[in-house]
């Protein structure tokens, strides 16, 4: 069987979940390596098991990422395009029902800040902060090593412990908010599990399973806010 036939078979076996895997070059031969999708909402996205990635890398050169679109056509989504850029690898996409294939590769694609779908580790609240600081302020913020799934993060949010290592300090009670300050919030979980950017009385942020947006810093968001932070070099 060809690698495409193996990948298609894996996609059919995983349907209606998204399948994911890697294309390897093993001594000059292309081989499909199936991986586990750890996402709980695996019909909408995939989180590749990092242990599978490491195991595949030990067998040969990873030359592409492959995943399925069980419901939609095999056309790269916004999340696919962002992930493709981050992986620096070409992506193959297959629909297990129509057996049609799609393809995308890194081209320098830069997504819009507002209106992006939420995908853990790719297009979420911290990803939005990093993208905003890079594009608007030319500040490259560290990307923290996160838990594999958002459910693990909800059980143990890491914003407070990582803030100082990223160059932020907590505002004193007598300090007023300024543009580009961060707001650490507790939303539907334990601890400070969400981050937003303060801009002219509004907040720019990205809630789970919603599009990234800018909205007024309303009383409910104010109530959710646990800490206010400022990038240290701005003082």
Residues annotated catalytic, as ranges:
125, 194, 205
Question: Which residues lie below 8 Å from residue 145, measured CB to CB, with a gap of 6+?
Answer: none
Contact 104, 81 (CB under 8 A): yes
Phi-psi region of 54 (alpha: psi -120 to 50; beta: other; left: phi over 0): alpha
d(CA 163, CA 190) in angstroms, rounded, equals: 17
d(CA 49, CA 132) in angstroms, rounded, equals: 28
d(CA 180, CA 164) in angstroms, rounded, equals: 16
In three-state secondary structure terms, 119 is strand
Cis peptide leading into 151, omega within 30 of 0? Answer: no
CA neighbor of 198 nearest in space, from 161, 231, 153:
231
Cα 68-70-73 angle, rounded to 5 deg: 85
Looking only at the bridges linking them, the beta strands covering 213-216 and 194-199 are unpaired
């Amino acid at each position: 069987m060809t690698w495409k036939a193996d990948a298609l078979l894996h996609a059919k076996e995983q349907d209606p979940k998204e399948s994911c895997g890697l294309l390897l070059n093993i001594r000059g031969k292309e081989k499909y390596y199936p991986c586990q999708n750890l996402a709980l909402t695996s019909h909408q996205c995939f989180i590749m098991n990092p242990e599978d990635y490491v195991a595949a890398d030990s067998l040969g050169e990873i030359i592409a990422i492959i995943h399925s679109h069980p419901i939609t056509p095999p056309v790269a989504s916004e999340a696919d395009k962002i992930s493709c850029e981050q992986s620096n690898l070409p992506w193959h996409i297959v629909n297990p029902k129509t057996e049609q294939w799609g393809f995308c590769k890194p081209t320098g694609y830069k997504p819009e800040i507002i209106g992006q779908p939420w995908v853990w580790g790719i297009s979420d609240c911290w990803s939005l902060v990093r993208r905003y600081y890079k594009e608007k302020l030319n500040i490259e913020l560290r990307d923290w090593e996160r838990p594999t799934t958002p459910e693990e993060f909800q059980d143990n949010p890491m914003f407070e412990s990582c803030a100082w290592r990223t160059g932020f300090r907590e505002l004193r009670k007598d300090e007023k908010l300024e543009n580009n300050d961060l707001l650490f919030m507790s939303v539907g979980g334990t601890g400070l599990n969400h981050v937003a950017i303060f801009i002219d009385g509004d907040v720019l942020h990205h809630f789970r399973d919603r599009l990234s947006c800018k909205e007024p810093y309303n009383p409910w968001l104010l109530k959710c806010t646990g800490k206010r932070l400022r990038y240290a070099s701005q003082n």
